[in-house]
Amino acid sequence: MTLCHKAAASAWFRGSLAGLVLLVLQGCASAPNANPRDPWEPFNRQVHSFNEGLDEAVVKPVAIAYQDVTPSFLRTGVTNFFGNLSDIWSLVNNVLQLKPKESVETLARVGVNTTIGLAGVLDVATELKLEKHSEDFGQTLGRWGVPTGPYLVLPLLGPSTVRDTAALPVDWRGNLIGGVDDSVVRNSLSALRVVDLRAGLLSASRMIDSAALDKYSFTRDAYLQRRRSLIRGYIGEPNSPQEERYDLPEPENKTAPGASPPPRP
């Protein structure tokens, strides 16, 4: 594929996604009594169903086969390699968010894993207690006051928001795999990354399938809570509630004034 063809294909895909978002913003009416966080729920549910069907038919079976056939140490190396690439983009966003401690730690992670860790195949930085600080451009926009906007489910890409969708073109530019000139190598790495990510979520998806009465609502609420917790306390999320914790013990019942305490067993 020539450079012109690659540029045209990339422009077509990004233009199609931008057109889809514009269509949603302009043409999708809110459902009656709509959730204010999810005013386009009917549309989002249709895209969610499409993504679920594609996952069940193609992505999930490939991920299961990859997990069954590939030795665990090799899968770990693949995950570490892509994690090191993502740390490079996280470093850029930590700098853009003016986080000095996180920027220094992420820079150290990239340096250690790229050199001693053999291009990131070995996660030496974690063994050295260098914390991972994953950031993307959507979080950077939130850091500087851009509101989240409504929930939005994207074809193939899954859960998002208007802010995170607007940040996607920048995140794509920060994806080092996209800069590989050889189309065969680039596409192979991209496919392997998707399969590796999906394989890492197999156990979580089985839990959701068995526990969630409404998988769409569960996925939406989990995504929004997660993104809110990542940006909580910054200018863009001044009123974000404290993240719910399910691993803490229930508070003890307080005794009413004047009442006798409950008898000890």
Give mean pLDDT, residues 106-112. Answer: 98
Q: Are the beta carbons of 142 and 108 closer than 8 angstroms?
A: no
Give mean pLDDT, residues 114-140. Answer: 97
Residue 256 or residue 204, greater confidence: 204
Give mean pLDDT, residues 236-259. Answer: 42
Is it the case that residue 218 has pLDDT exceeding 80? yes
pLDDT (0 to 100) of residue 2:
44
Q: In terms of residues, how long is the chain?
A: 265
CB proximity list for 36: less than 8 A, separation 6 or greater: none
Note the pTM of the prediction, 2 decimals. Answer: 0.77
Q: Of 109, 159, 104, nearest to 129 (Cα)?
A: 109
pLDDT (0 to 100) of residue 32:
65
pLDDT (0 to 100) of residue 211:
79
Q: Which residues pair with 161 in a beta bridge?
A: 151
pLDDT (0 to 100) of residue 165:
98
Residue 31 or residue 224, greater confidence: 224
Is it the case that residue 195 has pLDDT exceeding 60? yes
pLDDT (0 to 100) of residue 30:
57
| Window from 75-89, 142-156, 222-236 with minimum mean pLDDT | 222-236
User: Exposed/middle/buried for 178, CB within 10 Å: 0-12, 13-18, 19+?
Assistant: middle
Is it the case that residue 237 has pLDDT exceeding 50? no
Give mean pLDDT, residues 206-224. Answer: 89
Residue 6 or residue 76, greater confidence: 76
Is it the case that residue 250 has pLDDT exceeding 60? no
Query: C-alpha angle with apex 181: 85 to 137, nearest 5 degrees?
Result: 40
Per the prediction, the chain carries an average pLDDT of: 83
Give mean pLDDT, residues 199-207. Answer: 92
For residue 249, name the pLDDT band (cuts at 50, 70, 90): very low
Is it the case that residue 20 has pLDDT exceeding 80? no
For residue 28, name the pLDDT band (cuts at 50, 70, 90): low
Residue 221 or residue 25, greater confidence: 221
Long-range (24+ apart) CB contacts under 8 A made by 60-63 are 60/198, 60/202, 60/205, 62/195, 62/198, 63/195, 63/198, 63/199, 63/202
